[in-house]
Amino acid sequence: MNKLLFTLCVAAAATACSRSNNNGGGGDRKVIQNKGSDTLVNVAQSWAEAYKTVDPKVAVAVSGGGSGTGISALINGTVDIANSSRQMKDKEIALAKEKGVEPKEHLVGYDALAVFLHKNNPIEKMTFAQLAGIYGEGGTITKWSQLGVQVPGCDSDEIIVVSRQNNSGTYAYFKEEVLGEKDFRMGTKDMHGSKDVGDLVAHTPCAIGYSGLAYLDNTVKAPCIAKDDTSACIVPSRATAVDRTYPIARPLFMYTNGEPKDAVKAYLDWILSDKGQCIIQEKGYAPFHPVTCG
């Protein structure tokens, strides 16, 4: 019993020390807890790794799980920074304030939410109406031939609809912007992470998916997207994300509890500096301000 009590006391002390260090408290080494968006997780890990050379006394612990997961952790006081590929919802802000948390939004970059097709899919252009017909509840587009194409390797002609889990900011943003807040259709294949979406589409000729620009590579293709038949069809890119001409461009955020202080403030200031913004650019997203990178 004495050994058990001793172990619990040590664990409690370590946890308290870690959380105080997150806020710039005592101790030689500070740990910043950072959690949330799978869209941002790779660049967040790169920021954390690079920051070791900026301030070796600060460690940044990064994990994903989705924007909703990160925001919930901020509301519950278990992280210092929540990564999100969408803005916090009014109900999340209200819940945070009930718990004494004052969410502070920090814009850290831009993304173009790309539609992923198998590289042999002949489609070059898609509209919001077509995407809603594929993804939305009550949508009637279930076969590629309805869009006037035959997809090599897709003998069934059936469209395999790949989505994200509902705690994902990417899921929420696609639902809001493309589906007009309508529900997704039943039977979608919901992937845990952005990379999973790309991998499945790359190996499945019948599939369609959506994900952040950083996960677009030569294993899949991304058609240009138009809001309707009369609108310009825009290719997803860093440039069209920044100028918001791409119709599914979106800002990327980090949230803190109030104005950041001490180690957390220094870290966020560095992320928004040219050094930090060059890293987000290297990872395939658009910086929130123009930068010149070596």
Q: Looking at the predicted structure, is the pLDDT value of residue 21 above 90?
A: no
**Is 214 a domain residue?**
yes
Contact call for residues 61 and 31 (beta carbons, < 8 A): yes
Distance CA 233, CA 255 (A): 33
CA pair distance 111, 172, nearest whole angstrom: 14
**Are residue 68 and residue 94 in the same domain, yes or no?**
yes
Instruction: Tell me the pLDDT band of 62, cut-offs 50, 70 and 90.
Output: very high
256: domain range? 2-110+252-282
Are 99 and 124 within one domain?
A: no
Question: 99 — phi, psi (to 5°)?
Answer: -95, 10
Is residue 157 located within the same domain as residue 222? yes
pTM value is 0.81
Average pLDDT, whole number, for the chain?
Answer: 91
Q: How many domains does the chain have?
A: 2
Q: Are residues 154 and 225 in the same domain?
A: yes
Same domain, 151 and 207: yes
Question: Residue 77 and residue 256: Cα distance in Å, rounded?
Answer: 10
Residues 44 and 119 in one domain: no
Please report, for the domain that includes residue 125, its CATH number. 3.40.190.10
pLDDT tens, position by position, 190-203: 998 889 999 999 99
